[in-house]
Amino acid sequence: MLNKNDTVLIICHYTNLEDRVNSIGPPQDLRKFLLKRVKKITYILLPFPYAVDTRCYIDRYENGKLVHAKQTLRLRGHDWLQYLTHPFVVVYISLITSPHTVCFALDNLSTLSVLPLRIIGLVKKVVYYSIDYTPQRFPNKIMNFLYQTSDKIACATADVNWVLSQPMLKIKQTRKFFIGQQAVFYKVPMGFPKKHISVQPVEKIDRYHLVFAGVLLEKQGMQLVLQSLPKLLTYYPKLHLTIIGSGEYEDHLKKITRVNKLNSVVKFNGYIANHRKIEAILTKCGIGLAPYQPDPASYTYFADPMKPKIYLGCGLPVIITNVPPIARIIEKNGAGVIMKYSVESFILSVKQILKNSNRYVRYRKTAIKLSEKYDAEKILKDALSKTF
Protein backbone atom coordinates (compact mmCIF):
# COMPACT_ATOMS: atom_id res chain seq x y z
CA MET A 1 0.00 0.00 0.00
CA LEU A 2 1.19 3.55 -0.67
CA ASN A 3 2.35 5.60 2.32
CA LYS A 4 3.24 9.12 3.49
CA ASN A 5 6.61 9.09 1.74
CA ASP A 6 5.22 8.39 -1.72
CA THR A 7 4.53 10.77 -4.59
CA VAL A 8 1.74 10.13 -7.08
CA LEU A 9 0.99 11.31 -10.60
CA ILE A 10 -2.63 11.13 -11.87
CA ILE A 11 -3.49 11.90 -15.50
CA CYS A 12 -7.06 12.10 -16.73
CA HIS A 13 -9.38 13.93 -19.13
CA TYR A 14 -12.21 16.30 -18.29
CA THR A 15 -15.32 17.70 -19.95
CA ASN A 16 -16.42 20.28 -17.38
CA LEU A 17 -14.05 22.39 -15.34
CA GLU A 18 -16.11 21.56 -12.24
CA ASP A 19 -14.62 18.06 -12.50
CA ARG A 20 -11.59 19.43 -10.68
CA VAL A 21 -13.49 19.91 -7.44
CA ASN A 22 -17.15 18.95 -7.31
CA SER A 23 -17.52 15.93 -9.55
CA ILE A 24 -17.05 12.28 -8.73
CA GLY A 25 -15.55 9.49 -10.79
CA PRO A 26 -12.42 7.32 -10.89
CA PRO A 27 -9.78 10.09 -11.09
CA GLN A 28 -11.50 12.34 -8.56
CA ASP A 29 -12.16 9.47 -6.17
CA LEU A 30 -8.55 8.28 -6.49
CA ARG A 31 -7.19 11.77 -5.82
CA LYS A 32 -9.43 12.27 -2.77
CA PHE A 33 -8.58 8.81 -1.43
CA LEU A 34 -4.82 9.42 -1.67
CA LEU A 35 -4.72 13.05 -0.50
CA LYS A 36 -4.13 12.19 3.16
CA ARG A 37 -2.26 8.96 2.46
CA VAL A 38 0.70 10.12 0.35
CA LYS A 39 3.18 12.99 0.47
CA LYS A 40 2.58 14.59 -2.92
CA ILE A 41 0.08 14.35 -5.77
CA THR A 42 0.42 15.90 -9.20
CA TYR A 43 -2.99 15.93 -10.88
CA ILE A 44 -3.03 16.61 -14.64
CA LEU A 45 -6.38 17.27 -16.31
CA LEU A 46 -6.43 17.17 -20.11
CA PRO A 47 -9.45 18.53 -22.02
CA PHE A 48 -11.52 16.46 -24.37
CA PRO A 49 -11.59 18.31 -27.72
CA TYR A 50 -15.33 18.92 -27.30
CA ALA A 51 -14.87 20.53 -23.86
CA VAL A 52 -15.86 24.19 -23.62
CA ASP A 53 -12.57 24.99 -21.87
CA THR A 54 -9.65 23.43 -23.78
CA ARG A 55 -6.85 24.30 -21.38
CA CYS A 56 -4.80 21.70 -19.54
CA TYR A 57 -4.88 22.07 -15.75
CA ILE A 58 -2.15 21.03 -13.34
CA ASP A 59 -2.89 20.83 -9.61
CA ARG A 60 -0.17 19.93 -7.11
CA TYR A 61 -0.89 18.76 -3.58
CA GLU A 62 1.43 18.34 -0.61
CA ASN A 63 0.35 16.65 2.62
CA GLY A 64 -3.29 16.83 1.58
CA LYS A 65 -3.35 20.53 0.62
CA LEU A 66 -3.41 22.23 -2.77
CA VAL A 67 -0.13 24.16 -3.04
CA HIS A 68 0.02 24.98 -6.74
CA ALA A 69 -2.55 25.33 -9.54
CA LYS A 70 -1.69 26.25 -13.10
CA GLN A 71 -3.18 25.99 -16.57
CA THR A 72 -1.89 26.07 -20.12
CA LEU A 73 -3.14 28.21 -22.98
CA ARG A 74 -6.26 27.01 -24.76
CA LEU A 75 -5.57 24.17 -27.19
CA ARG A 76 -6.90 24.73 -30.70
CA GLY A 77 -7.18 22.80 -33.94
CA HIS A 78 -8.67 19.45 -34.97
CA ASP A 79 -9.33 16.74 -32.39
CA TRP A 80 -6.30 14.68 -33.41
CA LEU A 81 -4.03 17.73 -33.16
CA GLN A 82 -5.22 18.46 -29.63
CA TYR A 83 -4.70 14.84 -28.60
CA LEU A 84 -1.14 14.94 -30.00
CA THR A 85 -0.45 18.01 -27.86
CA HIS A 86 -1.35 16.18 -24.65
CA PRO A 87 1.75 13.91 -24.47
CA PHE A 88 4.04 16.95 -24.58
CA VAL A 89 2.15 18.49 -21.65
CA VAL A 90 2.25 15.19 -19.74
CA VAL A 91 5.99 14.65 -20.28
CA TYR A 92 6.89 18.24 -19.37
CA ILE A 93 4.85 18.31 -16.16
CA SER A 94 6.00 14.80 -15.21
CA LEU A 95 9.63 15.80 -15.64
CA ILE A 96 9.48 18.96 -13.53
CA THR A 97 7.54 17.24 -10.73
CA SER A 98 9.45 13.92 -10.74
CA PRO A 99 10.33 11.51 -9.27
CA HIS A 100 7.01 9.69 -8.82
CA THR A 101 6.36 6.46 -6.96
CA VAL A 102 3.51 5.64 -9.32
CA CYS A 103 1.59 7.14 -12.22
CA PHE A 104 -2.11 6.39 -12.67
CA ALA A 105 -2.86 7.11 -16.34
CA LEU A 106 -6.53 6.96 -17.30
CA ASP A 107 -6.09 6.70 -21.07
CA ASN A 108 -3.78 4.87 -23.43
CA LEU A 109 -1.97 7.92 -24.84
CA SER A 110 -1.06 9.22 -21.37
CA THR A 111 0.14 5.75 -20.41
CA LEU A 112 2.48 5.68 -23.40
CA SER A 113 3.65 9.23 -22.63
CA VAL A 114 5.04 8.33 -19.21
CA LEU A 115 6.62 5.02 -20.16
CA PRO A 116 9.95 6.67 -21.15
CA LEU A 117 10.06 8.29 -17.70
CA ARG A 118 9.65 4.87 -16.12
CA ILE A 119 12.54 3.54 -18.24
CA ILE A 120 14.87 6.25 -16.90
CA GLY A 121 13.61 5.81 -13.34
CA LEU A 122 11.61 9.02 -12.84
CA VAL A 123 8.39 6.99 -12.51
CA LYS A 124 8.73 3.70 -10.63
CA LYS A 125 5.43 2.11 -11.63
CA VAL A 126 2.75 2.81 -14.25
CA VAL A 127 -0.88 1.80 -13.75
CA TYR A 128 -3.05 2.00 -16.86
CA TYR A 129 -6.56 2.59 -15.53
CA SER A 130 -8.96 1.90 -18.43
CA ILE A 131 -12.19 3.70 -17.56
CA ASP A 132 -13.65 3.41 -21.06
CA TYR A 133 -13.17 1.25 -24.11
CA THR A 134 -15.00 0.30 -27.29
CA PRO A 135 -13.87 -1.72 -30.32
CA GLN A 136 -15.17 1.06 -32.59
CA ARG A 137 -13.78 4.23 -31.00
CA PHE A 138 -13.59 6.21 -34.26
CA PRO A 139 -15.63 5.83 -37.48
CA ASN A 140 -12.44 6.53 -39.43
CA LYS A 141 -10.61 3.19 -39.93
CA ILE A 142 -7.13 4.69 -39.71
CA MET A 143 -7.93 6.58 -36.50
CA ASN A 144 -9.52 3.48 -35.01
CA PHE A 145 -6.48 1.37 -35.94
CA LEU A 146 -4.19 3.89 -34.21
CA TYR A 147 -6.44 3.91 -31.15
CA GLN A 148 -6.52 0.09 -30.91
CA THR A 149 -2.76 -0.22 -31.51
CA SER A 150 -1.90 2.36 -28.86
CA ASP A 151 -4.24 0.61 -26.45
CA LYS A 152 -2.53 -2.73 -27.08
CA ILE A 153 0.90 -1.24 -26.43
CA ALA A 154 -0.33 0.54 -23.29
CA CYS A 155 -1.85 -2.70 -21.95
CA ALA A 156 1.32 -4.64 -22.70
CA THR A 157 3.85 -2.19 -21.30
CA ALA A 158 2.11 -0.83 -18.21
CA ASP A 159 3.16 -2.51 -14.96
CA VAL A 160 -0.47 -3.03 -13.95
CA ASN A 161 -3.79 -2.71 -15.76
CA TRP A 162 -6.95 -1.69 -13.93
CA VAL A 163 -10.15 -2.30 -15.93
CA LEU A 164 -13.75 -1.52 -15.02
CA SER A 165 -15.72 -4.55 -16.15
CA GLN A 166 -15.56 -8.23 -17.04
CA PRO A 167 -16.29 -7.65 -20.77
CA MET A 168 -13.43 -5.14 -20.90
CA LEU A 169 -11.17 -7.52 -18.99
CA LYS A 170 -11.82 -10.38 -21.42
CA ILE A 171 -10.78 -8.25 -24.40
CA LYS A 172 -7.76 -6.60 -22.81
CA GLN A 173 -6.29 -9.81 -21.39
CA THR A 174 -5.91 -11.11 -24.95
CA ARG A 175 -4.00 -8.02 -26.08
CA LYS A 176 -0.49 -9.47 -25.83
CA PHE A 177 1.28 -7.11 -28.16
CA PHE A 178 4.70 -8.57 -27.44
CA ILE A 179 5.56 -12.28 -27.53
CA GLY A 180 5.79 -13.59 -24.00
CA GLN A 181 4.39 -10.40 -22.49
CA GLN A 182 2.72 -11.08 -19.12
CA ALA A 183 0.65 -8.02 -18.26
CA VAL A 184 -1.05 -7.88 -14.87
CA PHE A 185 -4.78 -7.15 -14.85
CA TYR A 186 -7.19 -6.37 -11.99
CA LYS A 187 -10.88 -5.61 -12.27
CA VAL A 188 -11.52 -2.33 -10.47
CA PRO A 189 -15.21 -1.46 -10.86
CA MET A 190 -16.59 2.06 -10.75
CA GLY A 191 -17.36 3.18 -7.23
CA PHE A 192 -18.97 6.19 -5.60
CA PRO A 193 -18.46 8.01 -2.27
CA LYS A 194 -21.20 6.27 -0.31
CA LYS A 195 -20.40 7.88 3.05
CA HIS A 196 -21.66 11.26 1.83
CA ILE A 197 -25.16 9.97 1.00
CA SER A 198 -27.91 10.19 3.60
CA VAL A 199 -30.59 7.67 2.60
CA GLN A 200 -34.09 8.75 3.59
CA PRO A 201 -36.65 6.50 5.33
CA VAL A 202 -39.13 5.06 2.85
CA GLU A 203 -41.91 7.15 4.46
CA LYS A 204 -40.14 10.36 3.39
CA ILE A 205 -39.65 9.55 -0.28
CA ASP A 206 -42.03 9.75 -3.23
CA ARG A 207 -42.06 6.34 -4.94
CA TYR A 208 -43.93 7.82 -7.92
CA HIS A 209 -41.05 10.21 -8.60
CA LEU A 210 -38.96 8.93 -11.51
CA VAL A 211 -35.50 10.43 -11.98
CA PHE A 212 -32.68 10.49 -14.51
CA ALA A 213 -29.26 12.02 -13.83
CA GLY A 214 -26.62 12.26 -16.54
CA VAL A 215 -25.58 13.79 -19.84
CA LEU A 216 -28.53 14.24 -22.19
CA LEU A 217 -27.54 12.26 -25.28
CA GLU A 218 -29.70 10.23 -27.64
CA LYS A 219 -27.98 7.00 -26.56
CA GLN A 220 -29.19 7.54 -22.97
CA GLY A 221 -32.70 6.63 -24.11
CA MET A 222 -34.74 9.24 -22.23
CA GLN A 223 -36.87 9.88 -25.34
CA LEU A 224 -38.35 6.42 -24.79
CA VAL A 225 -39.34 7.34 -21.23
CA LEU A 226 -41.05 10.54 -22.37
CA GLN A 227 -42.95 8.63 -25.06
CA SER A 228 -44.12 6.16 -22.40
CA LEU A 229 -45.35 8.69 -19.86
CA PRO A 230 -48.79 9.51 -21.35
CA LYS A 231 -49.89 5.88 -21.07
CA LEU A 232 -48.18 5.36 -17.70
CA LEU A 233 -50.07 8.32 -16.26
CA THR A 234 -53.35 6.51 -16.91
CA TYR A 235 -52.17 3.83 -14.46
CA TYR A 236 -50.33 6.10 -12.03
CA PRO A 237 -51.70 9.69 -12.09
CA LYS A 238 -49.23 10.71 -9.36
CA LEU A 239 -46.23 9.79 -11.52
CA HIS A 240 -43.76 12.57 -12.36
CA LEU A 241 -40.23 12.79 -13.73
CA THR A 242 -37.14 14.86 -12.95
CA ILE A 243 -34.29 15.05 -15.46
CA ILE A 244 -30.94 16.24 -14.08
CA GLY A 245 -28.26 17.20 -16.59
CA SER A 246 -27.72 18.87 -19.92
CA GLY A 247 -26.40 17.90 -23.33
CA GLU A 248 -26.84 18.04 -27.06
CA TYR A 249 -30.15 16.11 -26.93
CA GLU A 250 -31.77 18.37 -24.34
CA ASP A 251 -33.76 20.51 -26.80
CA HIS A 252 -35.17 17.41 -28.50
CA LEU A 253 -36.28 15.96 -25.16
CA LYS A 254 -37.98 19.24 -24.27
CA LYS A 255 -39.76 19.18 -27.64
CA ILE A 256 -41.08 15.66 -26.96
CA THR A 257 -42.26 16.91 -23.57
CA ARG A 258 -44.18 19.79 -25.15
CA VAL A 259 -45.68 17.67 -27.94
CA ASN A 260 -46.96 15.11 -25.43
CA LYS A 261 -48.24 17.87 -23.10
CA LEU A 262 -46.08 16.67 -20.23
CA ASN A 263 -44.80 20.02 -18.97
CA SER A 264 -46.72 19.66 -15.71
CA VAL A 265 -45.16 16.27 -14.87
CA VAL A 266 -41.62 16.60 -16.29
CA LYS A 267 -39.03 18.89 -14.72
CA PHE A 268 -35.69 19.67 -16.39
CA ASN A 269 -33.23 20.66 -13.66
CA GLY A 270 -30.32 21.32 -16.02
CA TYR A 271 -26.67 20.72 -15.21
CA ILE A 272 -25.82 20.66 -11.48
CA ALA A 273 -22.09 20.92 -10.77
CA ASN A 274 -22.19 19.98 -7.09
CA HIS A 275 -22.83 16.25 -6.77
CA ARG A 276 -24.04 16.60 -3.18
CA LYS A 277 -26.99 18.59 -4.52
CA ILE A 278 -27.73 15.85 -7.04
CA GLU A 279 -27.68 13.23 -4.29
CA ALA A 280 -30.04 15.36 -2.18
CA ILE A 281 -32.56 15.22 -5.04
CA LEU A 282 -32.06 11.52 -5.74
CA THR A 283 -32.63 10.46 -2.14
CA LYS A 284 -36.15 11.90 -2.28
CA CYS A 285 -37.10 10.10 -5.52
CA GLY A 286 -38.61 6.66 -6.09
CA ILE A 287 -37.07 4.99 -9.17
CA GLY A 288 -33.78 5.63 -11.00
CA LEU A 289 -33.75 5.38 -14.80
CA ALA A 290 -30.95 4.12 -17.06
CA PRO A 291 -32.65 3.20 -20.39
CA TYR A 292 -29.49 3.02 -22.53
CA GLN A 293 -30.02 2.43 -26.24
CA PRO A 294 -28.72 -1.06 -27.21
CA ASP A 295 -25.90 0.04 -29.54
CA PRO A 296 -23.09 -2.60 -29.79
CA ALA A 297 -20.57 0.17 -30.53
CA SER A 298 -21.44 2.00 -27.31
CA TYR A 299 -18.87 2.45 -24.53
CA THR A 300 -21.58 1.38 -22.10
CA TYR A 301 -21.39 -2.28 -23.21
CA PHE A 302 -17.80 -2.48 -21.96
CA ALA A 303 -17.72 0.21 -19.28
CA ASP A 304 -19.14 0.30 -15.78
CA PRO A 305 -21.35 3.41 -15.54
CA MET A 306 -21.59 5.07 -12.18
CA LYS A 307 -25.14 6.34 -12.57
CA PRO A 308 -26.95 3.06 -11.69
CA LYS A 309 -24.70 2.62 -8.65
CA ILE A 310 -25.47 6.09 -7.33
CA TYR A 311 -29.16 5.35 -7.77
CA LEU A 312 -28.67 2.21 -5.66
CA GLY A 313 -26.74 4.15 -3.03
CA CYS A 314 -29.57 6.67 -2.78
CA GLY A 315 -32.03 3.84 -2.21
CA LEU A 316 -33.58 3.82 -5.68
CA PRO A 317 -34.69 0.64 -7.45
CA VAL A 318 -33.29 0.86 -10.99
CA ILE A 319 -34.93 0.35 -14.37
CA ILE A 320 -32.15 -0.34 -16.87
CA THR A 321 -31.64 -1.88 -20.30
CA ASN A 322 -29.42 -4.94 -20.70
CA VAL A 323 -26.47 -2.88 -21.95
CA PRO A 324 -23.88 -2.41 -19.15
CA PRO A 325 -22.71 -5.41 -17.09
CA ILE A 326 -24.18 -3.85 -13.92
CA ALA A 327 -27.69 -4.44 -15.35
CA ARG A 328 -27.45 -8.21 -14.84
CA ILE A 329 -26.18 -7.71 -11.28
CA ILE A 330 -29.04 -5.35 -10.43
CA GLU A 331 -31.71 -7.74 -11.68
CA LYS A 332 -30.06 -10.84 -10.19
CA ASN A 333 -30.00 -9.20 -6.76
CA GLY A 334 -33.58 -7.95 -6.99
CA ALA A 335 -32.52 -4.29 -6.87
CA GLY A 336 -34.27 -3.35 -10.09
CA VAL A 337 -35.58 -4.50 -13.45
CA ILE A 338 -33.98 -5.04 -16.86
CA MET A 339 -36.25 -3.58 -19.55
CA LYS A 340 -36.23 -4.12 -23.27
CA TYR A 341 -35.77 -0.95 -25.27
CA SER A 342 -39.47 -0.40 -25.99
CA VAL A 343 -42.36 1.64 -24.64
CA GLU A 344 -44.25 -1.51 -23.66
CA SER A 345 -41.33 -2.95 -21.72
CA PHE A 346 -40.68 0.30 -19.86
CA ILE A 347 -44.32 0.50 -18.79
CA LEU A 348 -44.24 -3.12 -17.57
CA SER A 349 -41.03 -2.44 -15.64
CA VAL A 350 -42.54 0.52 -13.81
CA LYS A 351 -45.61 -1.58 -13.00
CA GLN A 352 -43.44 -4.39 -11.69
CA ILE A 353 -41.71 -2.12 -9.17
CA LEU A 354 -44.81 -0.15 -8.16
CA LYS A 355 -47.23 -3.10 -8.07
CA ASN A 356 -47.67 -2.78 -4.31
CA SER A 357 -45.97 -1.09 -1.37
CA ASN A 358 -44.41 -4.29 0.02
CA ARG A 359 -42.76 -5.11 -3.30
CA TYR A 360 -41.42 -1.57 -3.64
CA VAL A 361 -39.91 -1.71 -0.14
CA ARG A 362 -38.18 -5.01 -0.98
CA TYR A 363 -36.63 -3.51 -4.11
CA ARG A 364 -35.49 -0.48 -2.12
CA LYS A 365 -33.88 -2.50 0.70
CA THR A 366 -32.05 -4.68 -1.81
CA ALA A 367 -30.82 -1.63 -3.72
CA ILE A 368 -29.32 -0.14 -0.56
CA LYS A 369 -27.68 -3.44 0.38
CA LEU A 370 -26.20 -3.95 -3.11
CA SER A 371 -24.79 -0.41 -3.14
CA GLU A 372 -22.44 -1.28 -0.26
CA LYS A 373 -20.43 -3.36 -2.72
CA TYR A 374 -19.61 -0.23 -4.73
CA ASP A 375 -18.27 2.08 -2.05
CA ALA A 376 -15.32 3.86 -3.70
CA GLU A 377 -13.07 3.67 -0.64
CA LYS A 378 -13.49 -0.09 -0.31
CA ILE A 379 -12.83 -0.62 -4.02
CA LEU A 380 -9.69 1.53 -4.03
CA LYS A 381 -8.31 -0.06 -0.86
CA ASP A 382 -8.68 -3.48 -2.41
CA ALA A 383 -7.15 -2.42 -5.75
CA LEU A 384 -4.17 -0.67 -4.15
CA SER A 385 -3.46 -3.59 -1.81
CA LYS A 386 -3.23 -5.88 -4.85
CA THR A 387 -1.13 -3.43 -6.85
CA PHE A 388 1.46 -2.59 -4.19
pLDDT digits (tens, 9 = 90+) for 63-108: 999 999 999 988 887 777 888 889 999 999 999 999 999 999 999 9
Query: 201 versus 53: which is more confidently predicted?
Result: 201
Distance CA 254, CA 51 (A): 23
Q: Specify the CATH class of 7-188 in words.
A: alpha beta
Angle at 239 between CA 318 and CA 206, to 5 degrees: 65
Dihedral angle at the C-alpha atoms of 19, 76, 158, 151, nearest 10 degrees? 110
Q: What is the pLDDT of residues 183-208, one digit of tens each?
A: 789 999 999 988 889 999 999 999 99
Q: What is the pLDDT of residue 300?
A: 80
Percent share of the chain, pLDDT over 70: 96
Average pLDDT over residues 149-166: 91
Residue type, 381: K
Q: What is the pLDDT of residue 383?
A: 96
Q: What is the pLDDT of residue 296?
A: 72
Second CATH level (architecture) for the domain 195-374: 3-Layer(aba) Sandwich (3.40)
The answer to whether residue 145 scores a pLDDT higher than 60 is yes
Query: 139 versus 11: which is more confidently predicted?
Result: 11
3-class secondary structure, 265: coil
Average pLDDT over residues 279-306: 89
Residue 298 · residue 219 · CB < 8 Å: yes
Exposure string of 43-55, with b = 16+ CB inside 10 Å and e = fewer, is bbbbbeeebeebe
Give the HSE-up count for residue 326: Cα atoms under 13 Å, Cβ half-sphere: 28
Q: What is the pLDDT of residue 270?
A: 94
3-class secondary structure, 378: helix
Q: What is the pLDDT of residue 86?
A: 92
- Domain-wise residue ranges, the chain: 7-188, 195-374
270: alpha, beta or left, given left = phi > 0 and alpha = psi -120 to 50? left
The answer to whether residue 113 scores a pLDDT higher than 90 is yes
- Segment among 13-27, 92-106, 138-152, 374-388 with least mean pLDDT: 13-27
Residue 162 · residue 172 · CB < 8 Å: no
The answer to whether residue 233 scores a pLDDT higher than 60 is yes
Residue 290 · residue 270 · CB < 8 Å: no
- Segment among 181-185, 249-253, 274-278, 315-319 with least mean pLDDT: 181-185
Percent share of the chain, pLDDT over 90: 73
Residue type, 220: Q
Would you say the CATH fold of 195-374 matches that of 7-188?
yes
Q: What is the pLDDT of residue 18?
A: 64
Nearest to 278 by CA among 241, 245, 249: 245
Which strands make up the sheet holding 185-187, listed edge to edge? 65-71, 57-62, 40-47, 7-14, 100-105, 123-130, 160-163, 185-187
Across the chain, mean pLDDT equals 91
Residue 283 · residue 314 · CB < 8 Å: yes
